[in-house]
Amino acid sequence: MGGDREHLISGRYSYFVFLLLFLLYLFDYVDRMVVVSLFPYLKSDWGLSDTQCGMLVSAVYWSIVVFSFPVSILVDRWSRKKSIGLMAMIWSVATVACAFTRSFGQLFSARTIIGIGEAGYAPGGTAMISAFFPERRRAMLLGLFSTAVPIGSALGIALGGFIATRYGWRHAFGIVAVPGFIVALLFFFVRDYKTVELTKTVTDRTETMEKMDVVREFIHTPSLILTYLAFAGNMFVVVALLSWLPTYFNRLGGLPMEKASVKAGAVMLLAVVGAPLGGFIADRWRRRTVNARLYNSALFTCMTAIIFFISFAFLKGTVQYLVILIGGIAAMAFAPSAIAVTQDVVHPGLRAISYSLCVIFQNLLGSSLGPIFVGAISDHYNIEIALIILPSFTLLASLLYLAASRFYVKDLEKVEKVALTVEE
């Protein structure tokens, strides 16, 4: 399609923009997940329950649910680079503010502001990558972009435990916030693509899209809605594991929290392999099968469910950890092809909004509920039971991807052909 030109900007400059987007996404997750390794310190200082600790993770996702859609409108209709730069500055300042809190309520509020800053970042970054790179390589580039999630999460968890052990948990919040603020300032100076006019082709003429046309763009695209729901199932499990694996290794393995955090971080760090691998396979598979992206997401999601269920239900010790590491590779391999679908089947002027709706679904039904679900089951039974139940949500997600694949080709054929241009 016209919006997928090979050289919207030069290859080198497109990769420079990609690097800055990647770094911001990485620092986004460092700031988001650093609190996980601080749970024991917060429980000790403030007497928090496991459910309250889970709420400190979920606070970010609830905030993203509320603000993602309006912020993504700003991204699509105003400016990608300005919106992204402002958002990154907000979440960095809010992370610093966490260091000065004196109660659960204050920390919860500060974590909520982090979510406001992060609300439109993934949609904005995804839209820019989709514009600056050709469609045939979309899943692969989005896979590389997605590796920032496990790297940032692993760094946040590991750095949080390391800093808290040596200097106190408050310093962990302050130190990790600085790099993101610096990159945010740089992003104001990158080139952006021009805001895309929302038009539709009616027989032999072009008309401006009305509000209901935009609404119909989404509700009449079943492959998109089913992908949103499936993505939520994936993230329910991924974020719950990010939040509770350190505690699992601490309680069942008797490891100090610093070592447990590093051990858990290594699991999610392996998604650095899984995400680009999933994107690469999806792009190659799509040369032969048009809806391969959804088949790819279904396959890796099913593998994730099987791997984690076996590891938590039947295995212990070193063997268990090795299987969990394999699960770390599979856990994010679904993401690049699923994210690419959210860009494939919508008008090019609505790409940030499309992924923001995915973010709303995944956070409202997935990321915000996963940590609380595990915390609540842990409070009533134990964390081992909670993690045995958890993979059932990825099995459901796999079935939803398969259902979405039945509608993908028809939805793809409806997409408006629009050429993108770069700001001077």
pLDDT at 8: 58
pLDDT digits (tens, 9 = 90+) for 146-178: 888 878 888 888 888 889 888 889 999 988 888
pLDDT at 389: 96
pLDDT at 143: 84
- Residue 200, beta-bridge partner list: 207
CA distance 293 to 139: 8
Confidence of residue 382 (pLDDT cuts 50, 70, 90): very high
pLDDT digits (tens, 9 = 90+) for 213-271: 888 889 999 999 999 999 999 999 998 997 899 889 999 888 887 788 788 878 877 87
What is the percent of the chain with per-residue pLDDT over 70, rounded to a whole number?
95
Tell me the average pLDDT across 180-189.
88
Tell me the average pLDDT across 299-311.
97
CA distance 22 to 12: 15
pLDDT at 7: 52
What is the percent of the chain with per-residue pLDDT over 90, rounded to a whole number?
44
Residue ranges of domains in the chain, CATH in brackets: 2-195+212-413 (1.20.1250.20)
Q: What are the counts of helices (DSSP H) followed by strands (DSSP E) for the chain? A: 22, 2
Q: Where are the beta strands (DSSP E) in 170-284?
A: 199-202, 205-208
pLDDT at 6: 47
- Average model confidence (pLDDT) across the chain: 88
CA angle 301, 363, 386 (to 5 degrees): 60
Tell me the average pLDDT across 335-362.
89
Say yes or no to pLDDT of 318 above 70.
yes
Confidence of residue 118 (pLDDT cuts 50, 70, 90): confident
Confidence of residue 3 (pLDDT cuts 50, 70, 90): very low
pLDDT digits (tens, 9 = 90+) for 48-100: 888 898 899 889 888 888 888 888 888 887 888 888 888 899 999 999 999 99
